[in-house]
Amino acid sequence: VDHLREYGVSVDQVDIDGEFLAMARNRTFFTQFNDGAYEYDRLNTTVGDAFTHLRHSEEQYDLVLLDVPGARSDDSLSLYSREFYSLLRDHLTDRGVVATWTYSPYFFAQHNKAYVNTVRAAGFVHHLEYSVYHDLDGDGYRERGERFYVLSDGPRPTPDLSRAASPYLNETAPRYAERTWEWNRFPHYRGVEPNSVFDPNYDLIVDP
C-alpha cells in the first residue's frame, strides 16, 4: 500500500489476522516498514476470510495482489482452490490481472503441478513469471530469490518499470532490463487433479 498510494489508486485490503494488522499499525518494529500506509485515505481494510469476502462483493479490480501463506495444512487449501481462483477471475475488470507468490516448480514439483492445473481449470490460461533478487548470503550480490506469477484470462500487458520507482527497483533495474517479458500458456499435467473445496488435492500441501 505504501507504494500503491503514490498512484492515487483505491485499495481494498482483506486479511484474516486482525491482531497482526493492529500490531502493524502500533508497533515500532513494523511501522518502520509500512511508512504509515494504513493511514492512506483510499485504503479500505476488511478483517475476514478472502474467499468469503469475494463471495459477497461486487467490486471489480484492475489488479489483485495475493499474499497468502503457503499451503501447509487443510486450513489454507480453500485459497488454493479452483473455486477461489474462479471468484478472483469474476472480480477482474476486462484488463485485470492477478499477481501471486508461488512455490518453485523445481523444489516443489508436485505442488506446482497441482497449482497450475487448478488455476488453469479456473480459467487463467496465461501467466507471466518473474522473480525478486535478494542478497541471500550477505556477499553484496543479489541472487534470484522468490518466484511470482502474473495470471491472466485474456489481456497480456507488458510490464513498464519506467513508470515505477523504489529503492529496490532502482538497484535491480538492470536485472529486469536484461530479460524478455514473456507470457506463456499454462501446461496441463495429465493425472493431476485440480484442487477443489469439494474434492481437495492434498499435493498442494507442502510440509514445513
CA distance 205 to 208: 9
67 given a catalytic annotation? yes
CA distance 42 to 27: 22
72-107: string of b/e by CB count within 10 Å (b at 16+)? eeeeebbbbbbbbbbbbbebbeeebbbebebbeeee
Residues in contact with 36: Cβ distance below 8 Å, sequence separation at least 6, in sequence order = 2
The single residue of 41, 67, 75, 94 carrying the catalytic annotation is 67
Q: What SS3 class is residue 43?
A: strand
State the chain's maximal CA–CA distance in angstroms. Answer: 50
Would you list the DSSP string of 140-165?
A: S--EEEEEEEEEESS--PPP-GGG--
Residues annotated as catalytic are: 67
